[in-house]
Amino acid sequence: MGTDVLSLRMDHELLERLRRHAARRGMSVQDYVLRTLMRDDFDERFQTAVEETEKFYGPA
């Protein structure tokens, strides 16, 4: 699996908030942002799967 580069432009206040959140978890800002994006993507895919299951079987 290869990697690509994503460049973001953000204001100083947002970057500092991200640095604080990442530091609390002992992570780099890059790792923190990637983990957050992956978690959000998982949550969205999971919700879609639940909705599709409910369409097929009906609500619980």
pLDDT value at position 19?
96
pLDDT along the chain (60 residues), means of 10: 86 96 95 89 85 81
Q: 18: closest CA among 34, 32, 36?
A: 32
pLDDT value at position 5?
87
Put simply, whether the predicted model's pTM sits higher than 0.75 gets the answer no
Cα separation, 37 vs 4, in Å, equals 15
Q: Give φ, ψ of 48 to 5 degrees.
A: -60, -40
Cα separation, 6 vs 8, in Å, equals 7
pLDDT value at position 50?
85
